[in-house]
Amino acid sequence: MSRESFLRDGWTGFGPDPCLVDWLAHVRPLALAVRDDSRLQRDWLRCQGTWFVGVNALQNDGAGRVADSGPLLGAAMRFIRQDLGFGSRPLDRAQVSICYPGYPRPSPDESDASFRFRKQFDAAHVDGLHPVGPERRRKLLEFSGFLLGMPLTRANREAAPLVVWQGSHRIIGRALRRALGDIPPADWPRVDLTEVYHAARRASFRDCPRVVVHARVGEAYVLHRMTLHGIAPWGENARSEPAGRAILYFRPEIDRKGWLVEDWT
Ligand SMILES: [Fe+2]
CA of 174 relative to ligand 1 center, distance in Å: 19
Contact 223, 10 (CB under 8 A): yes
Output the CA 123–ligand 1 centroid distance in Å.
9
Alpha-carbon span 123 to 214, nearest angstrom: 17
Domains by residue range for the chain, with CATH: 2-253 (2.60.120)
From residue 112, how far is each of 101, 106, 130, 199, 232 by CA, in Å?
21, 8, 19, 21, 18
> Does residue 36 or residue 263 have the better pLDDT?
36
167: left (phi over 0), alpha (psi -120 to 50) or beta: left
**What pLDDT score does 263 carry?**
57
Q: How far is the CA of 191 from the centre of ligand 1 (A)?
A: 21
pLDDT at 265: 37
DSSP character at residue 82: I
Name the residue among 160, 143, 128, 176 with its Cα closest to residue 245: 160
Q: Are 152 and 24 in contact (CB under 8 A)?
A: yes
- pLDDT tens for each residue of 188-246: 999 999 999 999 999 999 999 999 999 999 999 999 999 999 999 999 999 999 999 99
Tell me the pLDDT band of 32, cut-offs 50, 70 and 90. Answer: very high
17 alpha carbon – ligand 1 mean position (Å):
24
CA distance 4 to 24: 28
**pTM (2 d.p.):** 0.96
Ion ligand 1: residue ranges with CB closer than 5 A: 127
- How many angstroms separate the alpha carbon of residue 229 from the centre of ligand 1? 6
Question: 69 alpha carbon to ligand 1 midpoint, in Å?
Answer: 26
Say whether pLDDT at 262 is over 70: no
Ligand 1: distance of its center to the CA of 232 in Å?
12
**261 confidence band (pLDDT: 50, 70, 90):** confident
Burial of 232 (0-12, 13-18, 19+ CB in 10 A): buried
Q: For residue 206, how far is its CA from the centre of ligand 1 (angstroms)?
A: 20
CA distances from 191 to 129, 158, 176, 188 (A): 11, 38, 11, 5
Of 85, 91, 215, 104, give the one whose Cα is nearest residue 149: 215
pLDDT of 135-194, one tens digit each?
A: 999 999 999 999 999 999 999 999 999 999 999 999 999 999 999 999 999 999 999 999
Confidence at residue 2, expressed as pLDDT on a 0 to 100 scale: 82
Q: Ligand 1 centroid to 161 CA: how many Å?
A: 12
